[in-house]
Amino acid sequence: MTNSRRSVRTDTRVILICSGKGGVGKTTLTANLGISLARQGLSTAVLDADFGLRNLDLLLGLENRIVYTAQEVLEEECRLDQALVKHKQESNLSLLPAGNPRMLDWLKPDDMQRIVDMLKEQFNYVLIDCPAGVEDGFKNAMSASQEAIVVTNPEVSAVRDADRVIGLLNTNAIKPVQLVLNRVRPKMMANQEMLSIDDVTDILALPLLGLVLEDEQVIVSTNRGEPLTLNSVNSPAAKCYLNIAKRLQGEDIPLIDPAEESSGIGAKFRRLMQTKIF
């Protein structure tokens, strides 16, 4: 640390990004939200709490720059700023791996709390990329969080698992808890072959922070290790991630209407068929 005066921030937001079910898009959201917030000039740390199967480094293109993890910091083998990996293009963003796959069960809720407390001293945002499931990995990550974003897909199993997680977040007084609905396919929704936005928000009874459209570019960006919000800001999913970051900052950005995303006469017809009669 360059200045000896440690300005302890009290306004740091520590946000858990969780889902219950695996593979619904937590890590992709964490990476893109991290970039977007950093772009807004907010110093942001992304903490990879999924160290059994860590991926956040890959999505951010930082996999070759990791030397230390939170474990070495806690054991005082290195300083925090040595373990933090700064993003190449977006210097407001830093990655901290909680551990590596060889140390599966060293991390306890206390360790998590200590690491997050250290991060709070220098960042506006701490985003915690949570492992799937509702077991110890999730509980450790939750123990150090204040608020949460639950990621889900418009599919029965993802929604069911999200509900379990929401129950646990509620009993642990994590709030606010907000919802991100990922992999929305407007056409399928219009044909009523996919749970609608209202279906999911009604069932889970959570405020919707945003939806993310299904977008092939997500895969392309993962291949490159460059989140969409970094270089492909015009892709459909990138716009969604940017909106989510703005809403998180309190901006009032209207939701995209998935029905508007598909246009033409087919879409008009589908909208007509969606009209509620009674």
Partner 1 sequence: MAMTLRDIINKLLRRQPASASTARERLQLVLAHDRSDLSSELLDQMRKEILEVVAKYVEIDVDEGAVSLETEDRMTALVANLPIKRTMTGQIKLKEPKDQSEENPQGAEGTDQNS
Ligand X SMILES: Nc1ncnc2c1ncn2[C@@H]1O[C@H](COP(=O)(O)OP(=O)(O)OP(=O)(O)O)[C@@H](O)[C@H]1O
Smaller CB separation from ligand X, 44 or 221: 221
Q: How many CA atoms lie within 13 A of 81 on its CB side?
A: 6
Are β-strands 85-86 and 93-97 bridged in parallel, bridged antiparallel, or unpaired?
A: antiparallel
Binding site for ligand X (CB under 6 A): 19, 22-28, 50, 55, 132, 182-183, 212, 214-215, 218-219, 222, 237
Smaller CB separation from partner 1, 100 or 196: 196
Which of partner 1, Mg ion, ligand X, none does residue 24 bind (CB under 5 to 8 Å by kind)? ligand X
Classify 17 as helix, strand or coil. strand
Smaller CB separation from ligand X, 26 or 39: 26
Look up tokens 């919802």; give the residue. 179
CA–CA separation, 34 and 125 (whole Å): 9
Smaller CB separation from partner 1, 116 or 194: 194
DSSP code string of 81-133: HHH-EE-SS-TTEEEEE---TT-TT---HHHHHHHHHHHHTT-SEEEEEPPSS
Binding site for partner 1 (CB under 8 A): 155-156, 159-160, 163-164, 167, 189, 191-196, 199, 202-205, 272-278
Backbone angles phi, psi at 15, to 5 degrees: -115, 125
Rounded to 5°, the CA angle 261-36-81 comes to 155
Which of ligand X, partner 1, Mg ion, none does residue 212 bind (CB under 5 to 8 Å by kind)? ligand X
Look up tokens 């939750």; give the residue. 142
Smaller CB separation from Mg ion, 26 or 87: 26
CB 17, CB 130: distance < 8 Å = yes
Binding site for Mg ion (CB under 5 A): 26-27
CA–CA separation, 91 and 105 (whole Å): 31
Work out how close the CB of 195 gets to partner 1 at its nearest, in angstroms, rounded to a whole number.
Answer: 5
CA–CA separation, 50 and 59 (whole Å): 13
Smaller CB separation from ligand X, 80 or 248: 248
CA–CA separation, 35 and 92 (whole Å): 8
Q: Within 10 A of 275 (CB to CB), how many other CB atoms are there? A: 6
Smaller CB separation from partner 1, 147 or 155: 155
